[in-house]
A = this chain, B = another copy of it.
């Protein structure tokens, strides 16, 4: 029979077991922190009705959507959009979920969701067509206190502290502040503001002269003074808490929208401190925009101080109304998203991940087939003590079994030879420390647990 080449579609990330374990640890850490802050899990179907998913006709989103058809549907449809499509984010499914279950949910509704999403992006290194998003949102009914805007950075801080991938900064801005400022320099139109920000985004790559020229060109027609004010504005970043408040104070009263944005951002900064986030970990950056159409108040980005090239690893913000496409209820909210697949890929590229240690913690080797019941009983004891244990059931030379443990990233290799069985002891090789020692069997589980807990407590 002719063989089919085993291969996966481009734009998907498939991992070997030890990498998958590292990725799973990343997801588990995120989930643990989401739960610690009282967020509730939901999962939604990977496919939604196309009319539910694509309430806005056309546009770039629809170009990237994957449609789904059963064989029967494929045969029937001559024309027209397929009935089902894969979700491209977790926000539209959340909106649909909250609208659908509105009367069964408790508000404020604090949900987390960790699932894969699908986008027909152009295939490119580091770009994925299938990737995990890890989202939290707090949704209010009719209203949601601005205090929740300060809780979100506390969750971000907790997640990235536990991930231990180096120092990071949570950057804050406020859309009202930006809108007020742009109005004050003569750009009142929202779309024009977006275009201006896109120009400003090129600052790092193209330099100030290029951006200034664009702002003074045909599209905007700003004066040199207005262009200079914009360039100054978007470069405002704070160093610490006091500096952030001082810089916001220095913006002046301006118009009412600007003033409101400044007041909101000041309050949020104060409350972030009350949440216990160390001030080295949050700052303002007035260049942060995040999807201008969607966010209406506080916006967040998070960057790794030592790896700025990675860009934002956790972003989000406050929005006025989550589900206006599906319900007349007003549902304001605030949330963030971590793109875990891309984050994992980037951390791996940067060598910031431990991808060498297995979930399997102990391997019981096989010396004599006849002693299998003894090996199995030992494994049961260890498993009952919470130690993930594998038993060699296929006989092979001991050296080969050690090699297997080494390649597989298993930390403890256990040998029960005739001597050990006679003495009721176990010989342990710690593959990580390259140490070998003999222990009374009764002490084994406790000793291994202690060693594993000590390693876990150490910084990654």
Contacts and interface: CB of A to CB of B under 8 A. Distances in A.
Nearest to A43: B20
A6 B41 contact: no
B360 A46 contact: no
Copies assembled: 2
B66 A68 contact: yes
Interface residues of A, number: 105
A358 B40 contact: yes
A3 B328 contact: yes
A105 interface: yes
A274 B372 contact: yes
A393 interface: yes
A7 to B, nearest CB: 6
A407 B106 CA distance: 7
A235 interface: no
Contact of A36 (B44, B68, B383, B394): B383
A95 B3 CA distance: 12
Interface string A372-411: 1100110010010011111101110000000010011000
Interface string A41-68: 1111111110110010000001111111
Given A380-B275, A383-B36, A66 B55 contact: no
Contacts of A144: 394
Interface of A: 1, 3-9, 12, 14-18, 20-21, 24, 35-38, 40-49, 51-52, 55, 62-72, 74, 82, 84, 86, 95-97, 99-101, 104-106, 108, 110-111, 116, 118, 120, 130, 140, 143-145, 147-148, 151, 158, 271, 274-276, 323-328, 358-360, 363, 372-373, 376-377, 380, 383, 386-391, 393-395, 404, 407-408
